[in-house]
Amino acid sequence: MERFGEKLHTLRSRQGLTLRQMGDRLSVSHTFVARLEKGEKIPNVAMVLRVSRIFNVSTDVLIKDELELED
């Protein structure tokens, strides 16, 4: 799950969302989102599920480092 933050950043950027907008969607602060993206925080299961639902991607893709996001 080391690449979760990288994948979150990619998904957020593709949608043109700011850190603040992403935080609002996840019900967390924008600084928490930034720390997730930098790998300073590890998401809990509920957070992974929320990101999965928001971006319509599987949880496997989010947590398995060997799986890539589709373009």
Global pTM reads 0.93
Residues 6 or more apart from 58 whose CB is under 8 A from it?
52
pLDDT in tens, 19-62: 999 999 999 999 999 999 999 999 999 999 999 999 999 999 99
d(CA 3, CA 22): 18
Residue 71 pLDDT: 81
The total of other beta-carbon atoms located within 10 Å of residue 31's CB is: 12
Domains and CATH numbers, the chain: 4-59 (1.10.260.40)
